[in-house]
Amino acid sequence: MNLTKHQEEKFKKLSINSWCELSLIIPHTYEDLRLHSKLQEHTFQLIDATVESVNKTPNSIQVTFFAHNFSYKIIGVLFHPKSYMMHQFKVGDRDYYFGMIECKLGSCSMSMPKKVTNIGQITPKYKSTLRADVMLRLIKENLTKQNLLAEGLKEEIANEILKLHFPNDKLYDLKNLESKTLKALKYLELFIYMKQLSKKRRYFKPIVSQDSDYKKWALSLPFKLTSEQISSIEDIKKDLSKDVSAKRMIVGDVGSGKTMVILASAHMMFPNRSILMAPTTILANQLFEEAKKYLPKVKITLVTNKSKKEDLSEYDFIIGTHALLYRELPKAGLVMVDEQHRFGTAQRNMLEKLVSSENKQDQAKPHYLQFSATPIPRTQAMIETAHIDVSLITSTPFKKDITSEVIHKSDFKKLLEHIKSEIIKGNQILLVYPLVEQSEVLEYQSIDEARSYWEKNFNNVYVTHGKDKQKEEVIKEFNQKGDILIATTVVEVGISLPKLSTIVIVGAERLGLSTLHQLRGRVSRTGLKGHCFLYTNSSSSQRLDKFTQTISGFDIANLDLRFRKSGDLLKGSSQSGNQFNWIDLSEDEGIVKSVKVDLLT
């Protein structure tokens, strides 16, 4: 795209980089300078009028017009007029005037009438950082079908969008756009966005490329892999054989068996080296134990802050926490990051860099897989494919039996009875509180306020939180000896507590549905009957009620999207607050599919 210096300056002021982006700045209203024979109240209209009289008061000018197109007298009123305005209205002159017409008690007025010359046109009006006339000129002179098509936009979309900027005889109701126009705007917005995402993708040679199988290994397992686990492993198998280093995100629901996909990937990379980084020592330990069990031929080691320094080049599969970033790592054909959202982008990049080729001309990189247990809406997954490959695991190896219920203060006695009966059965309870210390702002108890009650009335009560340096030891000991664990959302991700049957989340309405789903995923990990209680002081919550009706993480992600709206995927702040003006990721899956096909095929 070759821009002149003046165009570049205007693009900079508008914070845009393409003609497509310019076309998405649609008019906020239109000035209809066509002459109509029917008077419409509370509307800006053009009159063909003769000035019959002009009266000046200290704060206004009153002009009596005879509007020939209506055969009607209209009083024009200019408030706080500038001196030059007086010269526009001379008794006996016939001209065209434009302003807002209001009628009351049989008489009509026009506020702030102005003399106009470009009769017969519908002129779009824009709200932008440019002066109105400059913006209009930029659109008129440059926004062409040719420019939009040159950027890859489909002709039918370009035609529909251009109608909004060059309306000819049709006056669009911008507050109630027709379905076809609305779809075009959604398509355009997503087209621009996914195109920007795709520019972020970089292609590198792989350190190693190999075509190996997993089927014999899968048959040796004491259980059968699910079809979606196999589908993800197949995706990775293809990735590893390509002459481009893979960049793939595997998104699986809580308990969907991502661990086996990780191990299958390491198996397929063997005898070449794999490295896996996990966010906590507990998780790294769990993965290490599973790897030893299911990859007997592979030489495996665990790296944490407490590990002794050793030569890691002796190992085929290195599993560790962020402690890996501070060790001398040998070259690896495959790098994996579990619970990737728990690490910063800088940390993930650092790991990749540590095991990449040092030869600048070579620029070879390891295949890179990131795993996430936070399900994302399918629409978002499709958008992500513009800059990273995505595999979804939506099913679980066994069906979880979890009952979810919203409870209030009046249900506390019933909750206590449930907790006592679960402890008698040998099951464990998790109580999640919103804060560690007392807060004057929050109407819920903190851990510090609540713990004395539970410690007084129950045995084997353990307490931990995010700032607790001993939290991993506490959770480990609770796993073996505890009845009740009191914690903050520190337990949200990854930890396996086989005897945990019940979770109580205090102040549940304060958390996003995806976080609630992660917390609920801690129970019923081994087929136990599970219970999730959402404690709230709110009398009713449609959001929490909907949450209790589904246990699918991907359905929850869609609900979360509806209630919180999507964040900005491009800038990586995918939290809440809507970054799109037109597209609705919870509703517009068809449009997302269409853009994906047009852009990526």
Is the CB of residue 79 less than 8 Å from the CB of residue 9?
A: no
Do 354 and 229 share a structural domain?
yes
Residues 478 and 520 reside in one and the same domain: yes
The pLDDT of residue 218: 94
Choose between 92 and 344: higher pLDDT.
92
pLDDT of residue 150: 93
Q: What CATH number did the domain enclosing 52 receive? A: 2.40.50.140
Going by pLDDT thresholds of 50, 70 and 90, the confidence category of residue 504 is very high
pLDDT at 564: 62
- pLDDT-derived band at 410, boundaries 50, 70, 90: very high
Which of helix, strand or coil describes residue 424?
helix
- Alpha-carbon gap, residue 213 to 385, rounded angstroms: 25
Tell me, rounded to whole angstroms, the distance of Cα 364 from its chain centroid.
Answer: 31
Tell me the CATH number at 535.
3.40.50.300
Residue at 556 is within a domain = no
Domain boundary at 115, 130, 149, which?
Answer: 115
pLDDT at 579: 65
- Whether 185 is in a domain gets the answer no
Q: Evaluate whether 367 touches 360 at the Cβ level (below 8 Å).
A: no
pLDDT value for 575 = 38
Helices (H), 270-411: 281-294, 345-354, 378-384
- Assess whether 429 and 544 both reside in one domain: yes
> What does pTM read for this prediction?
0.69
User: pLDDT value at position 25?
Assistant: 94
Chosen domain end from 355, 374, 393: 374
pLDDT, the chain, mean: 86
Same domain as 348, residue 299? yes
Verify that 21 and 68 share a domain, yes or no: no
How many other CB atoms are there within 10 angstroms of residue 151's CB atom?
A: 16
How sure is the predictor about 471, in pLDDT bands with cuts at 50, 70 and 90?
confident
- Give the closest residue to 589 by CA, choosing from 552, 550, 562: 562
Same domain for 336 and 407, yes or no, is no
Same domain, 235 and 140: no
> Looking at residue 344, what is its pLDDT?
65
Share of the chain above pLDDT 70, in %: 92
Strand pairing partners for 393?
Answer: 252
Encoded tokens for 468: 């607790």
Rg (CA), the chain: 33
Residue 379 lies in a domain: no
Residue 188 lies in a domain: no
528 in the same domain as 505: yes
Mean pLDDT of the region 200-217:
88
Asked if 583 and 186 touch (Cβ cutoff 8 Å), the reply is yes
For residues 353 and 229, membership in a common domain is answered with: yes
Does residue 493 surpass a pLDDT of 70? no
Last residue of a domain, one of 516, 531, 550: 550
Both 421 and 494 in a single domain? yes
Q: Answer whether residue 566 shows pLDDT above 60.
A: no
| Strand positions, DSSP E, 338-473 | 367-372, 389-393, 402-407, 428-432, 461-463
Tell me, yes or no, whether 343 and 231 share the same domain.
Answer: yes
Pairing verdict, β 43-57 and 94-104: antiparallel
Is there a single domain that holds both residue 483 and residue 341? no
In a domain, 166, yes or no: yes
- 208 located within any domain: no
- Could you tell me where the DSSP H helices lie in 430-485? 447-457, 471-481
Residue 337 lies in a domain: yes
The predicted pLDDT at position 571 comes to 42
Domain span at residue 84 reads 34-115
Tell me, what's the pLDDT at 578?
47
Q: CA angle, corner 254, sides to 250 and 256, nearest 5? A: 60
What is the distance of C-alpha 575 from the center of its chain? 6
83-87, 335-339, 483-487, 511-515 — which is least confidently predicted?
83-87
Residue 582 lies in a domain: no
Beta bridge partners of 339: none
State how many domains the chain has: 4
